[in-house]
Chain A
Amino acid sequence: MEYIIILISAIFVNNIVLAKFLGICPFVGVSAKTDTAVGMSGAVMFVMTIATIITWLIKTYILEVYGLQFLEIISFILVISSLVQLVEIILKKVSPPLFQALGIYLPLITTNCAILGVAIEASGTTDFGLLHSTVFAIANAIGFGLVMILFASLREHLDLVNVPKGMRGVPAAFIVAGILALAFMGFSGMV
């Protein structure tokens, strides 16, 4: 039951993009087409889950044991950026089709604040065990993917509409995102 609450809360109520404002760069940058949005969401889900598990282990078994909590930011970002490269190398060897699909999005992920944000949040929530953190990461990744794909399909339709000249492109996209956020506010109070 706890896990279901974590899932619903992270996907709908406290959506990572629309309520917590993490991962805005890919949300605006690669959402012009639906298939790139799907690729990016897949890559984020992959890296976010692994990164959260590994940073949780590092925090619990290294940083806390030796009283090094002040190194959290530095160690997490280093782990995430090396992890992304590692994932890239392993995927290339093990699963070329998956690498084909996710490959170009992987380098972009290092600077995706959603990954570091979820890792820090999961390690900062004191009653989160390893399984809780993993579910939390997966839930946030699903939330990211859902909003990303919704937004990409909205933007594809936006291309066909006659938008006033000064608002074309990014400004109109932000207004659409605002309305989407307004719609997601309807979920608040669910958990």
Chain B
Amino acid sequence: MNQVQNFTKGLFKENPVFVMMLGLCPALGVTTSAINGLGMGLATTFVLLMSNIVVSIIKNAIPPKVRIPSFIVIIASFVTIVDLTMNAYLPSLHKELGLFIPLIVVNCLVMGRAEGFASKNNTLSSIIDALGMGFGFAIALTILGGVREILGSGAIFGVSLVDADLMLAFVLAPGAFIGLGYLIAIHRAIKKN
């Protein structure tokens, strides 16, 4: 597979949220607005990138039997870095994303790429794979956040478009499920054509 395909597969064809259904908890939990979705997407991309790099470098040094625990420790270290850095420099975003920052550890997407890709490929491919998957995740979260923000509060990235309260349910919990359901269906329809 050439590197361009390696990068673009995560953006649309194998999008982690819409196709592979990985990392759904943060995808539903933090996307009350586009900016939260983007923040979460970028935080996950960072962890994904760093863990893919480290795993692909030391893959031969890890005994196969303790593979999974080793990956978990690597991922958890980077999540701690993100958690503390965000808390220091972006306290308001950190507060909004809350519990979902430490929960990047158990995001199946990060673990899945470490186990399924980085442990079998060289460092360059792993970096490109991580960037593609990470951006695909960030795009999906930003779209879902944007849709919910527009329908729920009539704004996008905090910029108010209409001056009224719209369907409040879309900013609340039910909107996350319904919004994602329709987005998956739309993604399927576009992919088919």
Contacts and interface: CB of A to CB of B under 8 A. Distances in A.
A21 B108 CA distance: 15
Interface string B94-122: 00000100110111100100000000000
B80 interface: yes
Contact of A173 (B111, B173, B181): B181
Nearest to B192: A166
B106 A28 contact: no
A170 B80 CA distance: 33
A121 B99 contact: yes
A16 B30 CA distance: 14
Interface in A68-121: 70-74, 77-78, 81-82, 110-113, 116-117, 120-121
Interface in B137-182: 169, 172-178, 180-182
B177 A74 contact: no
A33 interface: no
B25 interface: yes
Nearest to A110: B106
B128 interface: no
Interface stretch (A42-50, A53-61, A175-183): A175-183
A179 to B, nearest CB: 7
B25 A81 contact: no
Contacts of B111: 111
B108 to A, nearest CB: 6
B76 A21 contact: no
A85 B105 CA distance: 18
Contacts of B58: none
B84 A20 contact: no
B63 interface: no
Contacts of A72: 102
Contacts of A3: none
Given A21-B28, A77-B76, A116 B181 contact: no
Given A24-B28, A110-B106, A174-B184, 13 more contacts: A18-B173, A20-B29, A22-B25, A24-B25, A73-B80, A78-B76, A81-B69, A111-B106, A113-B25, A120-B102, A174-B178, A178-B181, A179-B178
17 contacts: A20-B99, A21-B29, A21-B176, A70-B80, A72-B102, A73-B76, A73-B80, A74-B73, A74-B77, A78-B73, A116-B103, A116-B106, A120-B102, A174-B181, A178-B181, A181-B174, A182-B169
Interface of B: 21, 24-26, 28-29, 68-69, 72-73, 76-77, 79-80, 83-84, 99, 102-103, 105-108, 111, 169, 172-178, 180-182, 184-185, 188-189
